[in-house]
Amino acid sequence: MGSTLAEKVWNEHLVRRGSGDEPDLLYIDLHLVHEVTSPQAFEGLRLAGREVRRPDLTLATEDHNVPTEGVELPIADPVSRTQVDTLRKNCAEFGIRLHSMGDTEQGIVHVVGPQLGLTQPGTTVVCGDSHTSTHGAFGALAFGIGTSEVEHVLATQTLPLRPFRTMAVNVEGTLRPGVTSKDVILAVIARIGTGGGQGYVLEYRGSAVESMSMEARMTMCNMSIEAGARAGMIAPDETTFEYLRGRPHAPGGADWDAAVEYWKSLRTDPDAEYDAEVTIDADELTPFVTWGTNPGQGAPLGERVPDPEFVADEEQRAATEKALEYMGLTAGTPLREVAVDTVFLGSCTNGRIEDLRSAAEILRGHRVSPDVRMLVVPGSMRVRQQAEREGLDEVFTAAGAEWRSAGCSMCLGMNPDQLTPGERAASTSNRNFEGRQGKGGRTHLVSPVVAAATAVRGTLSSPEDL
C-alpha cells in the first residue's frame, strides 16, 4: 500500500522509530520563535545549562505584542516591552536570528517564513503557535507546539511524537466569484466541527485547491487547527515552485533542480489510504460567516442566526444558547442585518498581499461607513511595502480605513488594538472565541472581501451587496 503525503514527510524525518508505547523521534527542519511562548523555554535551557542545538534552523520575529502604530517608539505597555526585550536578550545570548520591530523582515511569524522562502515542501516546521499549520500549504508538515516542546526543539532539534492520522478533504469544483479559500475552510470547519480533526493531519486536495494561489492555500491550512487538526497540508505543485523560485532562502542553481525533483515526489500515492475523508462541493459555496463563539458556529451569509430550539443535540443546543447570549444576537435575524462597529483586515490567516489587494478592490471608490472603524494591518513589513508600492494604502486611507504596521494586532488583542466590551467586529482572523479580540468583544469571522463590503455597508455583507 502506498503512503499519503503526510506519511512520506513523517518517514523522511524519523530519527528513531518508537517501539511499543514509545513515540517516534522526529527531526525538525525549521523552528520559528516569537516572544510569547518562548521566554519560559529559554529560561528552562539556562536552568539546565543547555545550548540551542541548531541556531541555523531557528528564526525569531516579534509579532504578538507589537503595536501597529508608533513602531519607532519604545513599546508603551511595560509588560509587553519586557516580553519583547526578553526575546531580544534570549536571541542574542543563544545566537538566534531575530527580526525586530522596525526591521524590513519583521512581521507575523507565519507570514515571514514563507515570504523568505524558508518554508519549503517536505520539511518539518514547528512554532509555539497553533497557526503553524499555515506552512502546510507548501507540503510541509507544520504544527503548533507548547512551550515545553519549544524548549525541547531548541535543545535537541527533535520532538517525540506519535504519528498523526490522515484525513483527505476533497474540495472539487470551481469557486464562484467573491467566494474565497476562507469561505471554504469556514465551511469545512462547520461541517466536521471544532473537534472533527482531532488527531488528524488534513490534506486538502481536489480541483478547487489545485487552482488556488499559494496565499489562498495558506489561509486554508492556517485554520486547520480550528477544526481541531494538528496540521493541514497541500501537495506541492507548479504553483508552489513558482512561489518559491528566487526567494532569499529558496535553493539556487543545481540545488534548485535537486529540490524540485524531490518536491515532485511529495504526493499521496494513488493506492494510499486515508483514515478519513470528506468532500466539499466548491460550486455550491457562498460567502461564509460565523455567528457564534467558536469557528464551527458559522453559516452562509444568506442565512439567519440559528434558533437553538431547532438544534436536536442537547449539548449543541446549550452551546448555541450560550453563544447567542454572548454575541447579543436574536435567533432568526438575517445575518446580513447584523451591524458591526469594527472591521479588522489582517492576521496570519488573511494579512497577505492578495488579501489586501482583494479588499482594496472592493473599497475603491467607496467609503467606510461612518459607524464603522476599519483597521488594515499587513501581515509583515514586506507586505506593507508591497501594498504601498501598489498604492493600496491610499485606497484604504481614502476610504477612511486606518493603515497600520505589521503584527498580530487585533486577532488576539495582545497589543493596544482591542475591542471594547460589547463591541462587534467583522474580522478576517481565525478565532471568534469569547473575549479573543478584547474582553467582551464579539467577533464574526469573514473573508477579506466580505470584510471590505461589510465596512462599506456597516452590516455583514458580500461584495455583490454593493
Partner 1 sequence: MEPFTTHTGIGVPLRRSNVDTDQIIPAVYLKRVARTGFEDALFAAWRSDENFVLNIEPFNRGSVLVAGPDFGTGSSREHAVWALKDYGFRVIISSRFADIFRGNAGKQGLLAARCEQSDVELLWKLLETEPGTRITVDLNARTVRAKDLTVGFEVDEYTRWRLLEGLDDIGLTMRAEEAIDSFERCRPGFLPRTLPSPAG
* Of residues 192-251, those binding partner 1 (CB under 8 A): 194-195, 198-199, 225-226, 228, 230, 248-251
Contacts of 8 (CB under 8 A, 6+ apart): 122, 265, 266
**CA 298, CA 294: separation in Å to the nearest integer?**
8
Give long-range contacts, CB 8 A cutoff, 24+ apart: 355-360.
355/215, 355/219, 355/428, 355/448, 356/383, 356/387, 356/392, 356/448, 357/387, 357/390, 357/392, 358/180, 358/448, 358/449, 358/452, 359/448, 359/449, 359/451, 359/452, 360/387, 360/392, 360/395, 360/396, 360/452
Residue 441: CB atoms within 10 A of its CB come to: 24
Question: Could you tell me the three cell numbers for 419?
Answer: 475591542
Binding partner 1 by CB under 8 A: which of 365, 439, 464, 466? Answer: 439
Q: Does 266 sit near partner 1 (CB under 8 A)?
A: no
Query: Looking at 81-89, 170-178, 298-306, 386-394, which segment touches partner 1 (CB under 8 A)?
Result: 81-89
Which string of x and - marks every residue 372-411 that binds partner 1 (by CB under 8 A)?
----------------------------------------
Question: Least separation, in Å, of the C-beta of 300 and partner 1?
Answer: 22
Around 258, how many Cα atoms within 13 Å sit in the side-chain half-sphere?
5
Between residues 135 and 457, which has the closer beta carbon with respect to partner 1? Answer: 135
Question: Considering only residues 3, 147, 211, 385, which one is a binding residue for partner 1 as defined by CB under 8 A?
Answer: 147
Residue 296 grid coordinates:
464551527
Q: Does 458 bind partner 1 (CB under 8 A)?
A: no
Angle at the Cα of 203 from the Cα atoms of 246 and 163, rounded to 5 degrees: 105
Interacting residue with partner 1 among 4, 68, 83, 358 (CB under 8 A): 83
Q: What angle do CA 212, 462, 399 make, to 5 degrees?
A: 100
Q: How is 281-346 classified by DSSP, letter by letter?
A: EGGG---EEE-SSSTT-EEETTSBPPPGGG--SHHHHHHHHHHHHHHT--TT-BGGG-B-SEEEEE
Q: Does 451 bind partner 1 (CB under 8 A)?
A: no
Q: Taking contact as CB under 8 A, which single stretch among the options 25-33, 171-179, 298-306, 393-401 is the one that binds partner 1? A: 25-33
Q: Which of 69, 321, 434, 465 binds partner 1 (CB under 8 A)?
A: 434
- The whole-angstrom separation of Cα 367 and Cα 364 is 8
# binding residues, partner 1 (CB under 8 A):
87
- State which of positions 291-310 bind partner 1 (CB under 8 A): 294
The H-or-E segment that residue 16 falls in is strand 14-16
Backbone phi, then psi, for 230, in 5-degree steps?
A: -75, -35
Is 117 a residue that touches partner 1 (CB under 8 A)? yes
Contacting residue, 217, 352, 404, 431, with partner 1 by CB under 8 A: 431
Q: Does 349 bind partner 1 (CB under 8 A)?
A: no
Amino acid identity for residue 285 in this structure: L
51 binds partner 1 (CB under 8 A): no
Q: Which is nearer to partner 1, 16 or 389 (CB)?
A: 16
Q: Can you tell me the distance from the alpha carbon of 268 to that of 265, in angstroms, rounded to the nearest whole number?
A: 9
Residue whose CB is less far from partner 1, 351 or 413: 413
C-alpha cell at 143: 504544527
Residue 312 interacts with partner 1 (CB under 8 A): yes or no: no
55 binds partner 1 (CB under 8 A): yes
46 is an interface residue for partner 1 by CB under 8 A: no
CB of 280 to partner 1, least distance (A): 22
- Please state the closest distance from residue 433 (CB atom) to partner 1, in A: 4
Is residue 144 a contact point for partner 1 (CB under 8 A)?
yes
Q: Is 433 in the site for partner 1 (CB under 8 A)?
A: yes
Tell me whether residue 196 or residue 287 sits nearer to partner 1 (CB atom): 196
Nearest CB to partner 1, comparing residues 40 and 279: 40
